[in-house]
Each structure stands twice: as structure tokens, then as C-alpha cells.
């Protein structure tokens, strides 16, 4: 049949349904053409959570420098705090802390003194006294008196070895040794005031330990001249406290 589509020309006729086969699918009619297939879109799993924008690199450098400076400052402050708290506070009686001269303790001893030291000093003073009596028995001779202290004497113009103005046996011995090794020369000896003259004692009935210097003294003036020569740097008004004439007469 002229003008019929080609498939109609070869159509074998209607077929019963259920035979299991069918004719070719007619082409889609219409004025348009088939739209090209769209590519499959692959979703990025990170698109649902986009990354925040990064700060400029210059800001990162500045932030790092500021962090380092802050850490350094914290370290300095911590070191100063530890030094201030660990530095021990200055103690009384040490260098750098102002102190007053220690006075006698309730037991009659200076702060820092010991009874054992005084006992040993007294024994040595007694030995020096024995030697002095043997070498210079009192017989009316003139000597230079360089020190006279009883145990517990307070001399406001002198400082004892214990740091105060109160002298105990150990301080008296130390002063006598210092005199013997000083300007007075080698002929220095020790006696008690009860060994000559009227036996002077203090208000507690304690004798004075006296440090003396022997010499070719004929009278008191000879002793004064010697004192002026030996202690020339000591003012004359104070010289009587460090050197004066003394006559050793037998004890009464």
C-alpha cells in the first residue's frame, strides 16, 4: 500500500497477546529531538560542611610571635616570684641585719656564750696568774696596768669578744691575749687584785683580773711616759682606761 510507513508494509498482522514477542518499538514522534543524557553528579562528602576560610599568613606569624613573647614574660614573672619567696629573710645577728649589742641572758651569760668556755678560760687565767706571781711577785715595783675586769664587768667604752660591753671569763682572757700580742710587748702578765695592795674587789666580792706590763719603771711618771709612747694614737682623756701606773705592794 502506497504511502504507508514501512513497518506497516511488513506488518504480519495482529498477533494474539501472550505469544511472548512483540514488534519493534515505534520511534517517538514529535517535533523535538532526544535530549542528551546528563552526567551523573558525584557529591563530595565535604560539601555539606565547607571549611572556614584560612586567615592570612601574616596574621598567623604575628600571632605566633605574640604567643612566644607571652610565654617568655610568664617565665620571667614566675622566676621572680620563686626568687622572692625562696630567698630567705635576713636573721637577727647576721650580716646585713642591724642589731644591737647582745646583753646578758637571764642566767647571767651573754647571748651566745657557754659555761664550758668560761670554765676553760678561768682555768687558763689561773695558770697565767700562777706564772705572773712566780715571775713578778708583788714587792712595791711599778708596772703599767693595761686592763682590769671582773667577771660580769660592764665597760661602756669597750666591746667584749661576745659583742657586748659585758665581760666574762672568756672575754677577759681574749682581751689579755690581744694586749700581750700588741703594742705592750712580750713582758705582759696576769694577776688578781687580791694578789697585791688592798685586795680590791667588785660589789659582788669578785676580784678583778688585771693585765700588767713590767718595765724599768722607777715611779709613776715613768709609767705615764711609757703609756704616752705606746698608746700615742689614743686621746689623752681616754688613755687612763687603757694604760695607767700601778704599784704592786704585798697584799695587806
Q: Is 226 part of any domain?
A: yes
Instruction: Please determine, for residue 108, whether its predicted confidence score (pLDDT) is greater than 70.
Output: no
- The crossing angle, in degrees rounded to 10, of helices 169-180 and 115-135 is 50
Give the residue-averaged pLDDT of 34-49.
Answer: 50
Instruction: Please determine, for residue 227, whether its predicted confidence score (pLDDT) is greater than 70.
Output: yes
Q: Is 205 part of any domain?
A: yes
Q: How confident is the model at residue 79 (pLDDT cuts 50, 70, 90)?
A: low
Instruction: Please determine, for residue 191, whether its predicted confidence score (pLDDT) is greater than 70.
Output: yes
Q: Is 73 part of any domain?
A: no
Q: Which of 36-40, 124-128, 181-185, 207-211 has the lowest mean pLDDT?
A: 36-40
Average pLDDT over all residues of the chain: 73
Instruction: Please determine, for residue 31, whether its predicted confidence score (pLDDT) is greater than 70.
Output: no
pLDDT (0 to 100) of residue 50: 56
Burial profile 92-130: b = 16 or more Cβ within 10 angstroms, e = fewer: eeeeeeeeeebebeeeebbeebeeebbeebbeebeebbe
Per-residue cell: 44: 563530595
Domain residues for the domain of 230 are: 117-136+146-248
Q: Whole-prediction pTM value?
A: 0.55
**CB contact set of 157 (below 8 Å; sequence gap of 6+):** 165, 238, 241
Instruction: Please determine, for residue 172, whether its predicted confidence score (pLDDT) is greater than 50.
Output: yes
pLDDT top residue among 184 and 192: 192
Give the residue-averaged pLDDT of 62-77.
Answer: 70
Helix, strand and coil in the chain, % to nearest 5: 35, 15, 55
Q: Is 157 part of any domain?
A: yes
Q: How confident is the model at residue 74 (pLDDT cuts 50, 70, 90)?
A: confident
Count of domains observed in the chain: 1
Q: Is 38 part of any domain?
A: no
Q: Is 21 part of any domain?
A: no
Give the residue-averaged pLDDT of 140-152.
Answer: 95
Q: Is 243 part of any domain?
A: yes
pLDDT (0 to 100) of residue 66: 75
Q: How confident is the model at residue 106 (pLDDT cuts 50, 70, 90)?
A: very low
Q: Is 176 part of any domain?
A: yes
pLDDT top residue among 151 and 56: 151
Cα distance between residue 117 and residue 119, in whole Å: 5
Amino acid at each position: 500500500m502506497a504511502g504507508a510507513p514501512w513497518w506497516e508494509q511488513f506488518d504480519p498482522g495482529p498477533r494474539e497477546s501472550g505469544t511472548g514477542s512483540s514488534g519493534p518499538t515505534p520511534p517517538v514522534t514529535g517535533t523535538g529531538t532526544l535530549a542528551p543524557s546528563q552526567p551523573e553528579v558525584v557529591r563530595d562528602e565535604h560539601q555539606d560542611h565547607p571549611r572556614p576560610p584560612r586567615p592570612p599568613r601574616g596574621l598567623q606569624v604575628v600571632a605566633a610571635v605574640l604567643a612566644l613573647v607571652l610565654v617568655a614574660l610568664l617565665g620571667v614573672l614566675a622566676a621572680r616570684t620563686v626568687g622572692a619567696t625562696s630567698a630567705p629573710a635576713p636573721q637577727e645577728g647576721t650580716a646585713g641585719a642591724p642589731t644591737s649589742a647582745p646583753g646578758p641572758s637571764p642566767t647571767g651569760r651573754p647571748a651566745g656564750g657557754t659555761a664550758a668556755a668560761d670554765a676553760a678560760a678561768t682555768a687558763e687565767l689561773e695558770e697565767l696568774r700562777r706564772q705572773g706571781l712566780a715571775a713578778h711577785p708583788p714587792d712595791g715595783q711599778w708596772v703599767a696596768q693595761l686592763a682590769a675586769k671582773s667577771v660580769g664587768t660592764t665597760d661602756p667604752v669597750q666591746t667584749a669578744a661576745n659583742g657586748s660591753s659585758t665581760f666574762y671569763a672568756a672575754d677577759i682572757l681574749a682581751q689579755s691575749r690581744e694586749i700581750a700580742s700588741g703594742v705592750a710587748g712580750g713582758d705582759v702578765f696576769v694577776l688578781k687584785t687580791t694578789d697585791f695592795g688592798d685586795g680590791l674587789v667588785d660589789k659582788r666580792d669578785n676580784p678583778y683580773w688585771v693585765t700588767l706590763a713590767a718595765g724599768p719603771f722607777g715611779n709613776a711618771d715613768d709609767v705615764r711616759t711609757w703609756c704616752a709612747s705606746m698608746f700615742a694614737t689614743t686621746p689623752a682623756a681616754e688613755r687612763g682606761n687603757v694604760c695607767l701606773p700601778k704599784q704592786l705592794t704585798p697584799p695587806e
